[in-house]
Structure 1
Amino acid sequence: MTFILYLALIIVFTKAAGAISVKLGQPSVLGKLLAGILLGPAILGWVQPDAFIGHFSEIGVLLLMFIAGLETDVDQLRKNWKASFAVAVGGIILPFIGGYALAAGFGLTNNEALFLGLLLCATSVSISVQTLKEMDRLGSREGTTILGAAVVDDVIVVILLAVMMSFLGTAGDVSIGLLIGKKVLFFIVVIAAGWFIVPWFMKLFAPFKVTEAVMSAGLIVCLAFSYFAEMMGIAGIIGAFAAGIAISQTSFKHQVETKIEPIAYTLFVPVFFVSIGLNITFDGVGSQWLFIVLLTIVAVITKLIGGGAGARLTGFDNRSSIIIGSGMVSRGEVALIIASTGLQAGLLLPDYFTSVVLVVILTTLITPPLLKAVFKEDRQLASN
């Protein structure tokens, strides 16, 4: 029965902390993330990370990205694909160089430094999505560019990780051609399914004389796309986002969106936010405080400048470029997965694992107030 207590605590603390955060002029998501740190092993220890939390949080982030797909302006996304690609590339090159240089400066081996550089290349925009949604800017030109860049970033980083594991001899025989082919196949299948199969499936399912037939059909599409993405070596959140876009092009968009949001934001999404904070512990990090501070600074600045430069080179003005760069700062669950992979492969030393996880979570905590600040400044300048 422990999981029932966990759920009650998570809902109470995330809603209360979110309300306090808004009262202090910050996005509610910041309070929800801090609630996870407060409830978890780092402070109170009332909620422990376990399989239940893991499964619920995974559903939460999938639903969050599914909703983001439903709300995405596809025409805007199509217009900004060049900018999204440039932002993703800029947000990979600079963090890689910065992470490698810092790791080398702290005496890590060449392989370990390469891996740390790659880890900083990751981007997870699930937190940025929630922040943009709260500010009603998810459908803006900047918002759609951030979403598109995150998709490109995920594909490139996964391929680079596979290449690195192969060349460093920790993953056995890896066919790079097969890896790239699977990514290409994913997008071909998803585009074709979104264009032909999803509309047909939604129309087929909608007349069923059962409760919530349309929403059930939407969830089936979301979970199927997410599972297929994982099969193809791509993060499930990309599949969920693609499913949302596919359904947004049908007449069932509004019905699915209005039905899915209450479930997602009442139960599953709060667990996802808390799960991030549960990964924080302060054991043994005192001796590495300088490494943590410097790596956090490098992680934030390189994404901000790298992603912003990509936006600036593709026609965005300085203010919009800073907004886009800010939206790419959060590393989130993608970097946590990469860190775990590196630990198992011996490319990330156990002594540094906790510090790296802490840095990843700090970038996630920094993103909401950073986005809020740059959007506020943008609105002030626009009104002058």
Structure 2
Amino acid sequence: MPHNVSLINTIAAGLGLALIFGFLATKLRLPALVGYLLAGVVIGPFTPGFVADAAIAAQLAEIGVMLLMFGVGLHFSLDDLLSVRKIALPGAVVQMVVATLMGMGLALWWGWGMGPALVFGISLSVASTVVLLRALESLGILDSFTGRVAVGWLVVEDLAMVLVLVLLPPLAGVFGGTQPAGNDTSIWQTLGLTLLQVGGFVALMLVVGRRLFPWVLWQVTRTGSRELFTLCVVAAAVSIAFASAALFGVSFALGAFFAGMVLRESEFSHRAAEESLPLRDAFAVLFFVSVGMLFDPSVLVERPLQVLAVVAIILLGKSLAAALLVIALRYPLNTALTVSASLAQIGEFSFILVGLGAALGLLPPEGQSLVLAGALISIAVNPLLFKAIAPVQGFLRARSAFVRHLEARDDPLAELPTATEERFLSRQVVLVGYGRVGRRIAQALTNAQQPFVVAEQNREIVERLREQGIPAVYGDAADPAVLVQAHVARARMLVIATPDAMAARPMIDTARTLNPGIEVAVRSHNEEEAQRLRDDGAGHVFLGEAELAEAMVRHVMARAEPGR
């Protein structure tokens, strides 16, 4: 067959087999992405039969990474990133160091040198943003505080990996690689240049991009052409990502992420996210297929114990380190478990690093196979870990006095100050969540002089509210102790303004157990979710599209009255 149709062959075989194996996986009650990975194994070079073009598959997967990161940026503002900096920055740095040391220790025990051990350890320390996004979106918690923490954590990891990938070539000779060792001056110059490039790119996007790209999107929207709008969105995602890599040396993924962040300033960001969703989904499938193509199944037979050790570091070592860090920073158990599940996998940056390490003579051939095996297994298992969060959380709280002690420890932000006025603690409104929706509700309550108490998982927000004289309690409101501290037993209404509707049920149960007559108002994102909450007697459920339509209808009918 002519070579000029290899792109068509790769797309057709990849998507076709992904559909078949994904369908079979869901029938077996496994995550669909397990089927996508198996499809890649089938058309990869290590299994008999048709072999797809791996180079083309890798480039298609890179486009998928760009579009997915662009989608994250559309939902993740700079304020969101800064709001989680106190947990994401130290957490990501310490977790990467711990995971790297674990991987290095394992490699040194196998008899590898210091250079290969370092590359191997770093490759196990960074999680896949693509896998994380798919998991958070499927759970509907991408916009929640816990989701923002997980995404912010991985953004910090991505920034760190950009530095690693730039600094590795000049340092290769120092660690025994094939590249000549650079002197101290060249190393420090490289580090300084890299920091300047990344800083320059971020500054350019935040200062110029936040004004320029929303304006361009508005000009395209005025044409009334849906095709041009979709083209503008996709072109912005891909071209900005490419330009950031070519001009500033940052990764495609990071460039696309910041492209989405600046376009979020446009009033059409929601439409942009919807228009790019089909492409994001299709190319995300190709990403997982390309990962499967890199996997050599023979490593499972030839080095089973080494594969198990690698998987143990990824699934247990990283997860445990992350969970302990989050708890040490005084965040709730749910946040700790969600972040630990988010990091229990490795992905695209790991593949790039091991490829560069092998090219520099810093990684033995079996190293790449072990990393890919760990990636494939951890990506396949990751959705199951997210499903296990709620059962594990309930089990730990019910069976472990130590866990209950941690959650009930003496934390000044976890209870209202004794100086809180009595008027705030009688017939008050308990407002769960102080995000974009919660802030508007709080402002309306303040204007109406209606007392309220905020329950929020972000420590920085709770500290800021208390500085402003607003009663606030830190913690996960799904935990009964948090609502008790908010004096829900004496409240007139519980308002749940967080986007995580699944967590609303335990909040409502607690509130009605302590206060049977309390009114409840809940925010929901889709009709199916809203109907389930209504069926469970959740009170008044507000669905975004429905409330917008009702408000528009009221406006139209009022303006259409006779005589106007």
> Do these two structures clear the TM 0.5 threshold for a shared fold by scoring above it?
yes
Q: Which amino acid aligns with 2:59?
A: H
- Does 74-83 or 124-133 show the bigger shift? 74-83
Deviation at 1:80, TM superposition (A): 1.3
Q: What's the CA shift for 1:256?
A: 1.4
Q: How does 1:294-373 map to 2 (within 5 A)?
A: 294-373=309-388
Quote the Cα distance in structure 2 between the aligned partners of 1:65 and 1:379: 33
1:118 aligns with 2:122: yes
Q: 1:83 aligns with which of 74, 87, 93?
A: 87
Moved more, 247-256 or 29-38: 29-38
**Could you tell me which amino acid in structure 2 is paired with residue 294 of structure 1?**
A
Shift of 1:313: 3.2
Matches within 5 A, 1:32-111: 32-43=36-47, 45-72=49-76, 75-111=79-115
Residues 314 and 345 of structure 2 are in contact (CA less than 8 Å); yes or no, is this contact kept in structure 1? no
Farther-moved stretch of structure 1 (211-220 vs 167-176):
167-176
Write the distance in 1 (CA, Å) between the matches of 2:392 and 2:257.
29
After superposition, the C-alpha distances for 1:162-192 in whole angstroms (9 at most, x for unaligned) are: 4454344236444211112212222212222
Using the alignment, how far apart are the partners of 1:328 and 1:343 within structure 2?
Answer: 24
State the distance in 2 between where 1:21 and 1:282 align: 19
Q: Secondary structure at the match of 1:281?
A: coil
Letter in 2 for 1:117: G
Cα distance in 2 for residues equivalent to 1:273 and 1:52: 14
Aligned residues: 383
2:143 is the alignment partner of 1:127: no
Corresponding residue SS for 1:323: helix
Match of residue 267, structure 2, among 248, 251, 266: 251
CA distance 1:161–1:70, change in 2 (3 Å): closer
Structure 1 residue aligned with 2:22, among 18, 21, 42? Answer: 18
Q: Provide the secondary structure at the position in 2 that maps to 1:107.
A: coil
Q: Is the 8 A contact 2:34 2:380 kept in 1?
A: yes
**More RCO (CA 8 Å, sep 6+):** 1
Q: 1:38 to 1:378 in 2, by over 3 A?
A: farther
Q: Distance in 1 between matches of 2:366 and 2:24?
A: 36
* Aligned equivalents of 1:161, 1:118: Cα separation in 2: 11
Tell me if structure 1 keeps the 8 A contact 2:350–2:371.
no
Over residues 275-305 of structure 1, what are the superposed CA-to-partner deviations in whole Å (9 max), with x where a residue is unaligned? 1111111346633222221122113223212
Looking at structure 2, the residues matched to 312 and 150 of structure 1 have their Cα atoms a distance apart, in angstroms, of 18
| Deviation readout 1:240-285 (Å, 9 max, x if unpaired) | 12222222221111221222112332x3222112111111113466
Deviates more, 1:236-245 or 1:76-85: 76-85
Task: Supply the AA of the counterpart residue of 2:200.
Answer: L
Q: Could you tell me whether the CA contact under 8 Å between 1:303 and 1:326 is conserved in 2? A: no
Please state if 1:28 is matched with 2:28: no
In structure 2, C-alpha distance between the alignment counterparts of 1:213 and 1:56, rounded to whole Å? 22
Which structure shows the bigger proportion of residues in helix conformation?
Answer: 1
> 322-331 or 207-216: which moved more?
207-216
Of structures 1 and 2, the larger Rg is shown by 2
1:198 paired to 2:202: no
Q: Specify every segment of 5 or more residues in structure 2 that has no aligned partner in the other structure, as ranges.
A: 174-178, 398-477, 479-505, 510-564
Aligned-partner SS, 2:344: coil
> Does structure 1 residue 146 correspond to structure 2 residue 150?
yes
For residue 211 of structure 1, report the CA deviation from its aligned partner.
5.0
Any conservation in 1 of the 2:307–2:370 contact (CA below 8 Å)? yes
